């Protein structure tokens, strides 16, 4: 089969990906093989290609927003049948036994398996997934629009939970890419007032089109104190900016897997009065199931840009340079 691998991590414009021929993966016990229809492009793929995140093994196939059809089942795999539509997400496995898994926090598992980092992902003709970690996808959402839900959507949803905005409260969103444009729709659906603070005229236009209550530049002050905020941009310098925009007791949740360094914080202006700064790490499967059901119920729409699978490097470069709004999706 054809697959893109991260050959030598480096700047995206230096061509860190290479397309190779690989053997088709065989599904092991409890696994299914998925014939990839399309795969979303996540900022984490860019961090892996550029080496911000260290490779877990050489020659990894990236891609963890995979939509496809089961074409083979491994021994003992009974959840999905050949031909079933399935989504393959970032969280591809846990040990199920560590102290975090035992207490319902499998997103913090000590021995997790991440798709496209620990095991080969979806920038390929096929990949395998542990059946317990795949998702049934809502029928009302087509393949291209479902792909970004599998990481951008689910992790944005967890970030929204982590931001802990009370009913009827105000949410600030810093950075407005694939994950933020989905999360904003969920927050608006829940009746929150959403203030989007981001660079890029196209991103601000998309935020306004989706119904944000206000839209400004990343450094602007929102029109009211924020009950909670999510930092989607991988920019540590925005942490003090967002903390200063919080009202008393507000929470800033950092949604990304990677963040540039955070400048020194000023206690009185940025943390006192019980302002909270926290990170978001992956998600539980329950977060994913809850989010997908919600997305289907209220008719969430992702804004996508389609690329052929052969153009994966161009899609990653366009993400790096902010050349599209919403999410990129690779098609086989």
According to DSSP, the residues that pair with 308 across neighbouring strands are 331
Q: Which is nearer to Zn ion, 245 or 300 (CB)?
A: 300
Q: Which is nearer to Zn ion, 170 or 185 (CB)?
A: 185
User: Phi and psi at residue 100, in whole multiples of 5°?
Assistant: -80, -45
d(CA 305, CA 330): 9
d(CA 108, CA 324): 32
**Six token digits for residue 267:** 């206690």
Tokens 């196209």, residue located: 202
* Nearest alpha-carbon partner for 39 in 61, 65, 17: 65
Give alpha helix (H) positions in 164-250: 178-189, 201-209, 238-245
Q: Which is nearer to Zn ion, 150 or 252 (CB)?
A: 150
Query: Least distance to Zn ion from the beta carbon of 154, Å?
Result: 9
Please report which helix (H) or strand (E) contains residue 287, including its range. Answer: helix 285-298
Q: Which is nearer to Zn ion, 94 or 203 (CB)?
A: 94
Q: Which is nearer to Zn ion, 39 or 215 (CB)?
A: 39
d(CA 168, CA 184): 14
Query: Least distance to Zn ion from the beta carbon of 43, Å?
Result: 7
| Contact by Cβ (8 Å): 238, 180 | no
Q: Which is nearer to Zn ion, 89 or 250 (CB)?
A: 89
Helix axes 152-163, 178-189, angle to 10 degrees: 50
Residues near 246 by Cβ (< 8 Å), separated by ≥ 6?
Answer: 172, 225, 226, 227, 228, 229, 252, 275
Q: Which is nearer to Zn ion, 42 or 146 (CB)?
A: 42
**Binding positions for Zn ion, rule: CB under 5 A:** 42, 44, 94-95, 98, 101, 109, 151
């Amino acid at each position: 089969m054809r697959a893109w691998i991260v050959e030598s991590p480096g700047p995206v414009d230096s061509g860190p990906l290479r397309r190779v021929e690989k053997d088709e993966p065989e599904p092991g016990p409890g696994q299914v093989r998925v014939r990839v229809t399309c795969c979303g492009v996540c900022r984490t793929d860019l961090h892996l290609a550029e080496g911000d995140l260290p490779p877990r093994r050489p020659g990894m196939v990236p891609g963890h927003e995979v939509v496809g059809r089961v074409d083979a089942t491994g021994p003992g795999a009974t959840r999905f049948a050949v031909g079933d539509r399935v989504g393959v997400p970032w969280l591809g496995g846990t040990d199920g036994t560590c102290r975090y898994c035992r207490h319902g926090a499998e997103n913090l598992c000590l021995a997790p398996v991440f798709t496209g980092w620990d095991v080969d992902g979806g920038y390929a003709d096929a990949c395998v997934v542990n059946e317990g970690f795949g998702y049934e996808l809502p029928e009302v959402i087509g393949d291209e629009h479902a792909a970004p839900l599998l990481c951008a959507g689910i992790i944005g949803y967890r970030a929204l939970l982590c931001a802990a905005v009370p009913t009827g409260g105000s949410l600030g969103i810093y950075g407005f890419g694939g994950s933020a444009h989905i999360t904003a729709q969920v927050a608006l659906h829940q009746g929150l007032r959403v203030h989007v603070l981001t660079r890029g005229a196209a991103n601000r236009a998309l935020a306004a089109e989706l119904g944000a209550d206000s839209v400004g530049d990343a450094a602007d002050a929102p029109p009211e104190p924020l009950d909670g905020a999510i930092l989607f941009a991988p920019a540590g310098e925005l942490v003090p900016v967002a903390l200063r925009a919080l009202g008393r007791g507000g929470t800033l949740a950092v949604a990304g897997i990677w963040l540039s360094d955070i400048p020194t914080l000023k206690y009185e202006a940025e943390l006192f009065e019980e302002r909270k700064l926290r990170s978001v790490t992956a998600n539980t499967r329950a977060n994913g199931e809850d989010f997908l059901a919600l997305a289907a119920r209220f008719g969430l729409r992702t804004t996508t840009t389609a690329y052929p699978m052969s153009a994966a490097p161009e899609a990653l470069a366009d993400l790096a340079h902010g050349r599209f709004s919403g999410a990129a999706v690779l098609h086989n």
